[in-house]
Amino acid sequence: MKHLHEGWTIAGGEITDLPATVPGCVHTALLAAGRIEDPYLDENETKLAWIGRTSWEYSTTFTPDLDAPRIDLVCAGLDTVASVELNGAPVGRTANMHRGYRFDVRPLLRAGANSLKIKFDSPYAYAEEVRADLGERPNAYPEPFNFIRKQACNFGWDWGPTLVTSGIWQPIGLHSWSVARFAEVRPQVTVAPDGTGRVEVRVRLERAAEEPVTITASVAGRRAQATVDGIEALLILTVDEPALWWPRGLGDQARYDLDVVLSSAAGELDSWSRKIGFRSVRVDTTGDAFTLHINNTPIFVRGVNWIPDDVFADRIVASRLRERFVQAADANVNYLRVWGGGRYESEDFYDLADEMGFLVGQDFLFACAAYPEEEPLRGEVEAEARENVVRLSSHPSLVMWTGNNENIWGHEDWNWKAPLAGRTWGAGYYFDLLPRLMAELDPARFYWPGSPYSGDSKRHPNDPVAGTTHIWDVWNTDDYTKYAAYRPRFVAEFGFQAPPTYATLKRALSDDPLAPDSPGMAHHQKAIGGDQKLERGLANHLPAPRDFDDWHYLTQLNQARAVSFGIRHFRSLRPLCMGSIMWQLNDCWPVTSWAAIDGDGRKKPLWYAMRDAYADHLLTLQPRTAEAPKAGGPDPVAPGAVFVAEGAPALVAVNDGGTPWVVAATVTRRSLSGHVLAASFLNATVAPGSAVTIPLPVDLTTPEDPTRELLLAESGSERSFFLFAADKDIDWPAPNFTTRVTTEGKSTKVAVTATSILRSLTLFPDRLDPSASPDRADVTLLPGETVTFTVTSEESLDEKALVGRPVLRCVNDLT
């Protein structure tokens, strides 16, 4: 294809003949030209609402080659409602950001200069017109995103700005061809019980002539060929015992080149190539379970939810995705759930997932709203689903499609039924259209109607006893210790908020001074009641902050503890619970949110807590009753109450590695000064993919003074603390420690030796250099213990500032 990416200008409103990058969008063109201020800074976002309510025109000229009988204009992605004109003649109209369009333009092309114009209607005007025609439908936000097939979070979310884009967001160009071309190549890759790999390559052609053509497919030295008079063909290749593709941590990511060539007597006409992987996938839902099996191995999903990494898609290049994927891999993540308010992720995204061994669950693009099932939306929904299911079918990383995000739950619980008054809301998509398309186009992949969904229409859709569940009462109304009351099968969303790193705040906000409620901070908190919920979370657990520096440290610490608490609990329930997908890995701009990595790509303390909680070997102290855990959720708890889990702490060892783990643990009850008050030595061998719970002696679990004692479990490098009281109720001694700082090149080592207990010692070197990043966070030291933080930075760091407040922090320094 010959790309048409040069010479574009845009016009709209008072803007005329402004140069524009393609692929791109109006916002990035205006920003590059200095016509708008950066919408991510301060409150600039609020000045840009006019862009989404303006019609825009993209224009360019080009000189084509006219030596082919068929020339198509191929638009891989237009955002969103557009009319295409070539040399003044209408070519076609689009109404879907999530699919491509192809137009035969050979009759309209002429020698020399040709004029191409793409006129984009205001997304708001279109969506509001459809809403007026079809009738209002409830949704979670006062925006019409459910009436247009466009990235929903463009219209704002509880973590994202309202920046409603328009533009040529994917490649565009001319495809010249003759006789026939590949309209669709759809491989289905399976592995038989005897280890034989099978590739069924289904091909659909578009023809410009009726002559016979030949299709040849090859993989791993095997070749199949068919001569075709019509437009469809099936080629089958078998590979004896191919090397399997495994998720990260369980084996290699073996991939093979699959090549498909279309030819005629005159030579090659078209070609298609992808890397494929042989693996088997199934999800066991028998007996209320929800367990993912890869190559007949049950997998505990150590997951994160993924949102678009930037509001403006042209900024999300392969190198940026790789950085994010490396951060996820380093945090021991094995699963990425692509959330339904964003996009069908890119080839770059899925190629990286294939290469690095991530499992991926892709939502169909419906989120937090009732969606009309009538035209003009229904036809677009089917077209986008067909295109993307086929497009992604070759990727071994993709293991699951989900019908929507929270819409079945919303219909049940969010007071939708009365205002809907019998109008359609999406059920026909989730329970009929999408499963039929999956059965037709990609039957080997698992489909689940929604997230959450319990698997039975007679059961509440968010019942944790079966299927997938979202746990949001913890953030919205209750304390994070309530996670311990849940016995879920698979948790697809849960999380807790905190602000971004300090360096990110200082870059994005001009507030002076910074405060939790200063104008920029308030604008970059999109969750309703978010600051009050942060305050409630702190009040339940930690000393009251005295200033912004305290607030920033404590809210980030509380987020890390909350999510770590949930992950450790869910993993400790294995095999009852087989999945934990934390909300969320990443941010799309600088914002107070649930993310582990902020909008500037910096790791918050949550990232380190997640890394430790998702480690292959997990040693954790968990409250346990004598009765074996059963699936289900907690009994009702008063809003804002601190849930106290029943039962004495027990030692749980979880092994998600590939070999047995021999645990030789020492568990001690200690005073805050470090003195051992009781001790026990416990041994267990934990098989791969399993968990072992070891009860503790009464003298360990019964403190004399809960506010002055703690439990510590240790086995090799694995360590777990259990406090009998909240930090705010403990009389922590004043922090006492010595430090030693050594620097070599871009690496600085900060050794801290405790002479008193140091609770949740954390280093924030980005306060000194925005590029600086530590290797760990939230470390509790007993007297006499030493930890060494390794900091990487581009600039030299002030050694005195590095070991003082507000850079080096612990809970003790608030008491």
pLDDT digits (tens, 9 = 90+) for 261-293: 999 999 999 999 999 999 999 999 999 999 999
Would you place residue 627 in the very low, low, confident or very high pLDDT band (cuts 50, 70, 90)?
low
pLDDT digits (tens, 9 = 90+) for 683-696: 999 999 999 999 99
- pLDDT, position 815: 81
Residue 754 placed within a domain: yes
Query: What secondary structure letter does DSSP report for 538?
Result: H
Residue 632 placed within a domain: no
pLDDT digits (tens, 9 = 90+) for 309-361: 999 999 999 999 999 999 999 999 999 999 999 999 999 999 999 999 999 99
SS3 199: strand
Residue 284 placed within a domain: no
Rounded Cα–Cα distance for residues 223 and 260 (Å): 10
Would you place residue 638 in the very low, low, confident or very high pLDDT band (cuts 50, 70, 90)?
very low
Per the CB < 8 A criterion, the answer to whether 360 and 385 are in contact is no
Residues involved in catalysis: 406
pLDDT digits (tens, 9 = 90+) for 40-49: 999 999 999 9
Residues 269 and 319 reside in one and the same domain: no
Residues 115 and 257 reside in one and the same domain: no
Residues 351 and 458 reside in one and the same domain: yes
- Domain CATH number, residue 717: 2.60.40.10
Residue 633 placed within a domain: no
CA angle, 11 as apex, 10 and 14 as ends, to 5°?
140
- 595-624 burial: b if 16+ Cβ within 10 Å, else e: bbbbbbebbbbbbbbbbbbbbebbbbbbbb
The pLDDT of 425-454, averaged and rounded, is 98
The pLDDT of 743-771, averaged and rounded, is 97
Rounded Cα–Cα distance for residues 612 and 617 (Å): 9
Tokens of 687: 């098989």
Residue 150 has pLDDT above 60, yes or no: yes
- pLDDT, position 628: 53
CA angle, 153 as apex, 148 and 157 as ends, to 5°?
130
What's the mean per-residue pLDDT of the chain? 96
- pLDDT, position 637: 41
Residue 624 placed within a domain: no
- pLDDT, position 760: 98
Residues 140 and 190 reside in one and the same domain: no
The pLDDT of 635-651, averaged and rounded, is 61
Per the CB < 8 A criterion, the answer to whether 233 and 213 are in contact is no
Q: Give Rg (Cα) of the chain.
A: 28
Q: Could you tell me which residues are beta bridge partners of residue 491?
A: 469, 580
Beta strand extents in 136-209 (DSSP E only): 167-168, 172-177, 180-191, 197-207
Residues 155 and 187 reside in one and the same domain: no
- pLDDT, position 632: 78
pLDDT digits (tens, 9 = 90+) for 549-597: 999 999 999 999 999 999 999 999 999 999 999 999 999 999 999 999 9
The pLDDT of 377-399, averaged and rounded, is 98
- Domain CATH number, residue 791: 2.60.40
- pLDDT, position 636: 46
- pLDDT, position 635: 54
- Domain CATH number, residue 79: 2.60.120.260
Rounded Cα–Cα distance for residues 451 and 359 (Å): 17
Domain end, chosen from 695, 729, 763, is at 729
Residue 743 has pLDDT above 90, yes or no: yes
Per the CB < 8 A criterion, the answer to whether 715 and 663 are in contact is yes
Residues 476 and 511 reside in one and the same domain: yes
Residue 264 placed within a domain: yes
**What is the number of domains present in the chain?**
5
Residues 121 and 89 reside in one and the same domain: yes
| Segments forming the whole domain that contains residue 120 | 2-175
Sign of the Cα pseudo-torsion (722, 723, 727, 728, in order): positive
pLDDT digits (tens, 9 = 90+) for 51-79: 999 999 999 999 999 999 999 999 999 99
Per the CB < 8 A criterion, the answer to whether 472 and 462 are in contact is no
Residues 302 and 405 reside in one and the same domain: yes
CA angle, 667 as apex, 785 and 610 as ends, to 5°?
70
Rounded Cα–Cα distance for residues 360 and 353 (Å): 7
Residue 630 placed within a domain: no
Strands 491-494 vs 101-104: parallel, antiparallel or unpaired: unpaired
- 189-228 burial: b if 16+ Cβ within 10 Å, else e: bebeeeeebbbebbbebbbbeeeebbbbbbbbebebeeeb
Backbone angles phi, psi at 255, to 5 degrees: -135, 155
Would you place residue 18 in the very low, low, confident or very high pLDDT band (cuts 50, 70, 90)?
very high
pTM of the model: 0.96
Residue 622 placed within a domain: no
Going by C-beta distance under 8 Å and a sequence separation of 6 or more, which residues neighbour residue 800?
Answer: none
Residues 583 and 705 reside in one and the same domain: no
- pLDDT, position 646: 66
Rounded Cα–Cα distance for residues 152 and 164 (Å): 9
Domain end, chosen from 563, 598, 615, is at 615
Beta strand extents in 463-563 (DSSP E only): 469-471, 491-494
Rounded Cα–Cα distance for residues 521 and 502 (Å): 12
Residues 255 and 344 reside in one and the same domain: no
Query: What secondary structure letter does DSSP report for 594?
Result: S
Residues 399 and 507 reside in one and the same domain: yes
- pLDDT, position 624: 85
CA 260 to mean position of chain CA atoms = 32
- Domain CATH number, residue 536: 3.20.20.80
Residue 362 falls in which region: left (phi positive, over 0), alpha (psi -120 to 50) or beta: beta
Tokens of 568: 């450790």
Residues 507 and 533 reside in one and the same domain: yes
Rounded Cα–Cα distance for residues 703 and 135 (Å): 62
Domain end, chosen from 175, 192, 216, is at 175
